[in-house]
A and B are shown apart, each in its own frame.
Chain A
């Protein structure tokens, strides 16, 4: 009996003691962890979180030319956007642009990656060539394509005329301008997409193909049953990234068309830029930026929802 009565306080006492030490350690660990995170938190805070909050704040105000808030207008900036034909046109162009660029980029890049994955002599040369557009800046590529699209001295029109077809006003015809910008963008994105897909292809275990060879699988059977499913994580990644990139396209528009002709290529980021720095409507520009953020958020969320079922992670 006496053994029990002495034993209980002793264990209880030591229990409390342990808890104290453990809590102390946990607090210490938390601060240590925070210290490691501090550089990122500061950088993200200054360049990402603060601008984000500031943008949302600005989207509820009218501003002067310097960007200072003048009148609180509540949701009016947003309401005006949805009744503005220019903004609606810009949304439409943006979605069309995504539709033109993303599937074509991925299909071409996948094709190039599959043929560049063959083990042949000198294949390194082709791999370098196919991924080379990754090393070219948006500005350089745009200028380069600007010359190709030139109505009189451009190579494309010269080829068309040599074939007996009338030249196209690539960047001046509203029917062609968005397609011309899309072609440029596809060309520019090809290098990166190709490289990611080639990397994905090379990480597929060669045993799988050997086993399929012994089973008597043909080329397309292997492509459909092994390559594409095993590549799905890489495909998913490049689809997400190219969609986000397409929504955020700016550089090539600024150099090739400046949003024209007749706002045909006035994609949403370019529209934000013009609203803010040409028209000095910072409030309205912020509202557009917030909308773009929401659109990309929803698209990415949907992709992950759909992707979960179709992507096979190892």
Chain B
């Protein structure tokens, strides 16, 4: 039993279509759990159901082994940080932080003690008398976090807390939130649509799409062994390169998007030949070809120089495949570029069900070498 258990949780607004469909999930104590999915996938609704701000249509929600379906938010012993911070614009930072303690009638001495500790921890001591409109985005974010910390609730829910910050500040706050969670031993449920945030912060990630769980697991597992096409294309940046593939048994070749021909290797022995296949390959596995190992020549249609690495888009049939090469490569648009594709790096999916048939087997041995 974890700290939060969701058993067959469903949600529908009009009693016809389920926004969330039979979610089963267990979140452990002290875990940083990330809910990630595109907008409209139901991740915020799920979080608000845990918080008690939305009714649960059916299913059971347990927090610390107690059923809490019927409890109002204040009796669930949790704190929440909202996307727009929900700071009270008419109250100073100090009053904002103490709002919840005042509501719970915590005595004044205790309030001041906790305020001092929290302000110190969050670096807000200098700002206590300011109004929210006099704060920068990052400072507002810290006040929102402080409000959650000061409540001393063991469970903290966050609804896209970083989406209003610029990229630099976001990277910094990611680290701060992660540190805070570890230091206080909080159980964190964190909603985001940004897969980078999910990958970098989560102990475990749940990918949600259309109200259904796509996959739950460690970030690296989701990256290496995506259970279906959705997870494969959602996790990772740039996204996994995909292509429709057909077996030509007589020639012992795999034909991708009618253009790429891959000789059948030992890796493909257990792939059934009689179904529609989709293959996927990560950008970092579309390697530059040397004189010895070049397998294909592909046309570069776009080149992005990032300084430490080069992103090259190749034209493959009807789609573009991205390659991520370490270092600076002088490639011209329109050039035919030699590349090395190893059939072992492919993930195979069933095109009809979208499910993974076989993941890439580069996993252990090769990663160590290339990084």
Measured CB to CB, the residues of A under 8 A from B are: 205, 207-208, 210-218, 221, 225-226, 229-230, 232, 312, 314
B contact residues around A207 at 8 Å (CB): 82, 84, 86
Determine whether B17 belongs to the interface, using a CB cutoff of 8 Å to chain A.
no
Whether B79 and A214, one on each chain, are in contact in the complex, defined by CB atoms closer than 8 angstroms, is: yes
A contact residues around B99 at 8 Å (CB): 212, 215, 217, 225
Partner among A211, A216, A312 whose Cβ is within 8 Å of the Cβ of B82:
A211
A contact residues around B364 at 8 Å (CB): none
Closest to B89 in A: A314
Q: A207-B84, A218-B103, A225-B99 are in contact. Are A213 and B73 (CB under 8 A)?
A: yes
Determine whether B238 belongs to the interface, using a CB cutoff of 8 Å to chain A.
no
Determine whether B104 belongs to the interface, using a CB cutoff of 8 Å to chain A.
yes
Whether A210 and B100, one on each chain, are in contact in the complex, defined by CB atoms closer than 8 angstroms, is: no
Partner among B53, B79, B84, B147 whose Cβ is within 8 Å of the Cβ of A205:
B84
Distance from A203 Cβ to chain B, minimum over Cβ atoms (Å): 12
Determine whether B66 belongs to the interface, using a CB cutoff of 8 Å to chain A.
no
In the assembly, what is the distance between CA of A225 and CA of B88, in Å? 9
Q: Top 8 closest A-B pairs, CB basis? A: A215-B100, A216-B74, A312-B90, A217-B103, A207-B86, A211-B86, A229-B90, A214-B73
B contact residues around A211 at 8 Å (CB): 80, 82, 86, 147
B contact residues around A208 at 8 Å (CB): 86, 88
Determine whether B206 belongs to the interface, using a CB cutoff of 8 Å to chain A.
no
Whether A230 and B84, one on each chain, are in contact in the complex, defined by CB atoms closer than 8 angstroms, is: no
In the assembly, what is the distance between CA of A230 and CA of B90, in Å? 7
Closest to A314 in B: B89
Some 9 contacts from A to B, beta carbons below 8 A apart, are A210-B51, A211-B147, A213-B52, A214-B79, A214-B80, A217-B99, A229-B90, A230-B88, A314-B133
A contact residues around B100 at 8 Å (CB): 212, 214-217
Whether A312 and B89, one on each chain, are in contact in the complex, defined by CB atoms closer than 8 angstroms, is: yes
Whether B104 and A210, one on each chain, are in contact in the complex, defined by CB atoms closer than 8 angstroms, is: no
Distance from B155 Cβ to chain A, minimum over Cβ atoms (Å): 11
Q: A207-B82, A210-B53, A225-B99 are in contact. Are A215 and B74 (CB under 8 A)?
A: yes
A contact residues around B79 at 8 Å (CB): 214-215
A-contact 0/1 string along B64-86, CB 8 Å cutoff: 00000000111100111010101
B contact residues around A225 at 8 Å (CB): 88, 91, 99, 102
Determine whether B151 belongs to the interface, using a CB cutoff of 8 Å to chain A.
yes
A contact residues around B72 at 8 Å (CB): 213
Distance from B344 Cβ to chain A, minimum over Cβ atoms (Å): 50
Closest to B90 in A: A312
In the assembly, what is the distance between CA of A217 and CA of B99, in Å? 9
Whether A205 and B86, one on each chain, are in contact in the complex, defined by CB atoms closer than 8 angstroms, is: yes
In the assembly, what is the distance between CA of A221 and CA of B105, in Å? 11
Distance from B56 Cβ to chain A, minimum over Cβ atoms (Å): 16
Distance from A162 Cβ to chain B, minimum over Cβ atoms (Å): 45
Closest to A215 in B: B100
In the assembly, what is the distance between CA of A275 and CA of B99, in Å? 57
In the assembly, what is the distance between CA of A217 and CA of B72, in Å? 11
B contact residues around A213 at 8 Å (CB): 52-53, 72-74
A contact residues around B86 at 8 Å (CB): 205, 207-208, 210-211
Other than the known A210-B86, A214-B53, A216-B103, what 8 A-B pairs have Cβ atoms closer than 8 Å? A207-B82, A208-B88, A211-B86, A215-B74, A216-B74, A216-B104, A225-B91, A312-B90
Closest to A216 in B: B74
A-contact 0/1 string along B101-116, CB 8 Å cutoff: 0111000000000000
B contact residues around A229 at 8 Å (CB): 88, 90-91
Q: A210-B53, A230-B90, A312-B89 are in contact. Are A215 and B104 (CB under 8 A)?
A: yes
A contact residues around B151 at 8 Å (CB): 215
In the assembly, what is the distance between CA of A229 and CA of B133, in Å? 15
B contact residues around A218 at 8 Å (CB): 103
In the assembly, what is the distance between CA of A214 and CA of B82, in Å? 11
In the assembly, what is the distance between CA of A212 and CA of B103, in Å? 8
In the assembly, what is the distance between CA of A210 and CA of B72, in Å? 11
Distance from A313 Cβ to chain B, minimum over Cβ atoms (Å): 9
A contact residues around B147 at 8 Å (CB): 211, 215
| Residue in A215, A225, A229, A232 with the greatest tally of chain B CB atoms within 10 Å | A215
Interface residues of B in 96-137 (CB under 8 A from A): 99-100, 102-104, 133
In the assembly, what is the distance between CA of A7 and CA of B79, in Å? 69
Partner among B52, B78, B80, B103 whose Cβ is within 8 Å of the Cβ of A221:
B103
A contact residues around B78 at 8 Å (CB): 214
B contact residues around A215 at 8 Å (CB): 74, 79, 99-100, 103-104, 147, 151
Distance from B69 Cβ to chain A, minimum over Cβ atoms (Å): 16
In the assembly, what is the distance between CA of A226 and CA of B72, in Å? 19
In the assembly, what is the distance between CA of A105 and CA of B74, in Å? 35
Closest to A226 in B: B88
In the assembly, what is the distance between CA of A56 and CA of B73, in Å? 63
Whether A214 and B74, one on each chain, are in contact in the complex, defined by CB atoms closer than 8 angstroms, is: yes
A contact residues around B82 at 8 Å (CB): 207, 210-211
| Residue in A205, A207, A221 with the greatest tally of chain B CB atoms within 10 Å | A207
Distance from A306 Cβ to chain B, minimum over Cβ atoms (Å): 17
Distance from B98 Cβ to chain A, minimum over Cβ atoms (Å): 10
Closest to B80 in A: A214
In the assembly, what is the distance between CA of A221 and CA of B104, in Å? 10
Closest to A225 in B: B99
B contact residues around A226 at 8 Å (CB): 88
Distance from A221 Cβ to chain B, minimum over Cβ atoms (Å): 5
In the assembly, what is the distance between CA of A225 and CA of B91, in Å? 9
In the assembly, what is the distance between CA of A207 and CA of B160, in Å? 14
In the assembly, what is the distance between CA of A215 and CA of B144, in Å? 12
Distance from B211 Cβ to chain A, minimum over Cβ atoms (Å): 22
Closest to B101 in A: A215
Distance from B127 Cβ to chain A, minimum over Cβ atoms (Å): 18
Closest to A213 in B: B73
In the assembly, what is the distance between CA of A312 and CA of B84, in Å? 19
Distance from B154 Cβ to chain A, minimum over Cβ atoms (Å): 14
In the assembly, what is the distance between CA of A72 and CA of B75, in Å? 78
Distance from B110 Cβ to chain A, minimum over Cβ atoms (Å): 15
Distance from A46 Cβ to chain B, minimum over Cβ atoms (Å): 43
Interface residues of B in 280-311 (CB under 8 A from A): none
